[in-house]
Structure 1
Amino acid sequence: MTPLAEIIDNCSYLDDWQDRMSYVMELGRKLPEMPQALRTSENKVQGCASQVWLVSHVSDTSADPVLTFEGESDAHIVRGLVAIVLSIFSGKTASAIVETDALDLFGRMGLIEYLTAQRANGLRSMIKRIKDEAARQLSAP
């Protein structure tokens, strides 16, 4: 997975939307393929026009556990967005996930304004699902 700082830095050098979208698709091509067995209706993100699956893993049982994520999409651009979302959230504590403004990060990378309404809604759905999982872990007894 490409580190978030590298993604932000690379986006700052790309001046037009076609170059940014090409870069997003390149990130998607580097995303490890999710095993078919994990592409279930339970793991499917609702609210995405494309098919998107997200799986969360909790690495410990502390009050503020670290979460990691796997993701996949059947659409090239969305797969790249999944890769960026995973770079933002995977490997962070649940509290850090809840506090992170991913849409602001996408805006700073110059990516939000180029997304269709459907893709932007799908992105929000992915982010909400990850934040909901983090909040659930924080409230777990």
Structure 2
Amino acid sequence: MATDTPQQALDELIEEFGFFDNWMDRYQYIIDLGKQLPAMPDEWKTAEYRIDGCQSNVWIYDEQHGDHLHFSAMSDAAIVSGLIAVVMRIYNDRTPHAILAMPKDCLDQLGLSQHLSPTRNNGLHAMLAHIYLTAAKLA
């Protein structure tokens, strides 16, 4: 379980992104983060868990562990897997209240929206919408 807050996780990501001089290096870092995602069981890679609005395949399986929400997620695209890893660092293993307390546009602080293609941006927003909706149902 995550011990820091979502804002602390975002602040750490902002600091890490600051280590890189350009967006090509940041993209590579995002891809590297995606390679570290835990494997997802094939039984969760179904239409039930697929996120609509993403050009590539994205699956998010969520379950409640005590008062925390745990998300398992993956994509079949490298950059999208990295975006999932960024999202998971901020939102995974948090209480619904902690998730809902984060501004929905908080990832703008990373500069992603200006540097992602429109389809990747739409996919990122679809993932976030799913996470916030899941948290709202349990709050």
Q: Same fold (TM over 0.5)?
A: yes
Select 1:77's aligned residue among 76, 79, 99: 79
SS at match of 1:98: helix
Match of 2:89 in 1: 87
State how many pairs are aligned.
Answer: 133
Query: Do the aligned partners of 1:20 and 1:111 also contact (CA within 8 Å) in 2?
Result: no
Q: Match of 2:135?
A: 134
Where structure 2 has 5 or more consecutive residues not aligned to the other structure, the ranges are none
Q: Does 1:98 align with 2:100?
A: yes
Give the whole-Å Cα distance in 2 for the aligned partners of 1:103 and 1:25: 22
TM-score normalized with structure 1 length: 0.87
Q: Which letter maps to 1:29?
A: K
Moved over 6 A (4+): none
Alignment of 1:1-141 (within 5 A): 4=9, 5-60=11-66, 65-104=67-106, 106-138=107-139
**Structure 1 Cα separation of the partners of residues 91 and 29 of structure 2:** 19
Percent identity at matched positions? 35
Deviations 1:70-122 (A, max 9, x none): 10000000000001111110111101111212532x22222221100110010
Distance 2:105 2:21 in 1: 20
**Residue type at the aligned position of 1:24:** I
Rounded Cα–Cα distance in structure 1 between residues aligned with 2:53 and 2:41: 22
AA aligned to 2:83 is L
- What 5-or-longer segments of structure 1 have no aligned partner? none
Q: In structure 2, what is the Cα distance between the partners aligned to 1:44 and 1:51? A: 7
Q: Secondary structure at the match of 1:47?
A: coil
Stretch of structure 1 that moved more, 89-98 or 18-27: 89-98
Distance 2:56 2:133 in 1: 21
RMSD: 1.8
